[in-house]
Structure 1
Amino acid sequence: MTSATDLQLSHDGHVARITLTRPPQNFVDTATIEQLVNMLAALDEDDTCRAVVLQSGVDVFCAGADFSAAPGGGAPGDPAVFYGHAMKLFRTRKPIIAAVAGAAVGAGLGLALVADFRVSCAEARFSANFNRLGIHPGFGMSVTLPRVVGEQRAAELFFTGRRITGKEALEIGLIDHLVPQADVSAQARELAREIALSAPLAVETTRATLRRGLAERIAEVNQRELEVQHSQFRSEDFREGVAAMSARRAPVFQRR
């Protein structure tokens, strides 16, 4: 259950800052995503807001979706509802900068890919670990990840599920700025302030042109993701993947 304090909103001039705080791992559930959608929608209607920083209030940016919402390591509530809200994140108008000072894993990486820019550090870790868990990628990442890093690198990250460092993330274009860990939030705010100096209508219309058709394409692909995940969430391989991850051992998949 998401509480009123899981997401905090603050303002600094024309820059809004949203801080996700769900210790210890900052897992997101349907209620968290819905609350974030509502915050961003309100900021879209706030003419004083010109850019948004999305950051974590704990050491981890976001470790993924909250699987505790369903018994036995099942899906995070109803996947259709979860992703239905998540798709709305790609329809916002204001530029978003993600300050990633810790791990961004699974749906957490998907959340970071909602942003226009990502500021991170060498200590951060990034992983599209869906296949390692026994499921198809979700959160529209079949579009958003290759859009940023290219199809070949995205395929490798999906198929292996391996974690990469902030340094490698910069090399492949997954993040835009690499700074000392203590400076991640400040650098993200500085980038947001720099964007806020430009004419807001010009920024928003340019962003809309650059992203034209993107939200629709992501939503269309997410339907495929959801259909495949729907069956795989109920598979023995998914249960094994979750169990292996919890036990920190290699999974033994059976193709069923």
Structure 2
Amino acid sequence: MTAEIDVEIADGIATITLTAEKTRNALNPESSRRLARACDEIDANAEVGAVIVRGGGGTFCSGAERDVLARAGEDPADPERFAELGAVYDAFVRVGSMSVPTIAAVQGAAVGAGVNLLLATDLRIVATNARIIAGFTRIGLHPGGGHFALLGRLVGREAAAAIGLFGAEVSGIRAAELGLAWEAVDAAEVDGRARELAATAAKDPELARRVVGSLRRELDPPGVSWAAALELERGSQMWSLRRRDVRG
């Protein structure tokens, strides 16, 4: 089951919705490439001043599909399988590099790579009962996708260790307390609140694109770039995938 990537544009706001109910909006190489193409199309539309990323069916994103991880674990050095997992990485990197301000509207669970997807956006509005679960170490995997670079820039070392290393689950309320999200609201209000915030940027798309570029250049951590973090983590994650496959 491939997640559909639906895009709606209205009033200068593009809404990207992941829709794959059977897999709880998990990403695979095909849907990841669709997501990246959607970002390209939105960037090319000068009338768009803000983007909302959300999941349909009451779930944000449950990460990468299990088959993608299993295939990578069978032979991490195989170029095709290396590229398949890389496509999932590329999707949320593409979200994070959009020329338009982005907001994640998070309901339900965000798990694994789904956490990286919400972290890739500029701002997060979460449901109070949302469940944010990095969960990599729980299933015997090293985090990938520059997870700690993304997480640490928001919550600091202590919380990044709790979430990414020790597997702590974070509720929507706790996410707002940690600075992982701007606001936690009732689930029924998430989309509306995200749209309310997006509307301000959408009034002047040209200005919004210039301002978000400055924000990222000035405030993103200078120590290790996201691209470098991706490469630093890739080898260890592929090793963990192979080890898990061997162990069965």
Please state which band the TM-score falls in when normalised by the shorter chain: 0.7 to 0.9
Offset of residue 99 of structure 1? 0.6
Q: Which runs of 5+ in 2 are unaligned?
A: none
1:23 pairs with 2:21: yes
Q: What is the aligned counterpart of 1:152 among 147, 158, 162?
A: 158
Amino acid of the structure 2 residue aligned with 1:234: R
Matches within 5 A, 1:180-219: 180-197=186-203, 199-212=204-217, 217-219=225-227
Q: Work out the percentage of aligned pairs sharing the same amino acid.
A: 32
1:48 pairs with 2:47: yes
Runs of 4+ off more than 6 Å: none
For 1:63 and 1:118, locate their aligned partners in 2 and report how far apart those are by CA, in whole Å. 17
Amino acid of the structure 2 residue aligned with 1:222: L
Aligned position for 1:229? 237
Q: Helix, strand or coil: the match of 2:45?
A: coil
1:118 pairs with 2:124: yes
Q: Which structure has the highest helix share of the two?
A: 2
Q: What is the aligned counterpart of 1:107 among 108, 113, 128?
A: 113
Amino acid of the structure 2 residue aligned with 1:122: T
Q: What is the aligned counterpart of 1:95 among 101, 113, 117?
A: 101
For 1:129 and 1:70, locate their aligned partners in 2 and report how far apart those are by CA, in whole Å. 14
Name the Cα RMSD after superposition: 2.4
Amino acid of the structure 2 residue aligned with 1:98: A
1:168 pairs with 2:174: yes
Aligned position for 2:62? 63
Count, aligned residues: 237
* Change in CA separation of 1:187 and 1:153 when aligned onto 2, cut-off 3 Å: same
For 1:85 and 1:17, locate their aligned partners in 2 and report how far apart those are by CA, in whole Å. 16
For 1:126 and 1:203, locate their aligned partners in 2 and report how far apart those are by CA, in whole Å. 28
Greater shift after overlay, 150-159 or 165-174? 150-159
Amino acid of the structure 1 residue aligned with 2:226: I
Contact 1:67 1:73 in 2 (8 A): no
Superposition TM-score, scaled by structure 2 size: 0.87
Amino acid of the structure 1 residue aligned with 2:18: L
Offset of residue 17 of structure 1? 0.8
Amino acid of the structure 2 residue aligned with 1:205: R
For 1:179 and 1:86, locate their aligned partners in 2 and report how far apart those are by CA, in whole Å. 24
Offset of residue 70 of structure 1? 5.8
Q: Which runs of 5+ in 1 are unaligned?
A: 244-256
Q: Helix, strand or coil: the match of 1:161?
A: coil
Instruction: Tell me: higher relative CO, structure 1 or 2? Use CA pairs within 8 A at least 6 residues apart.
Output: 2
CA displacement 1:76-120 (0-9 Å, x = unmatched): 953234324443333210011111011111100101111111111
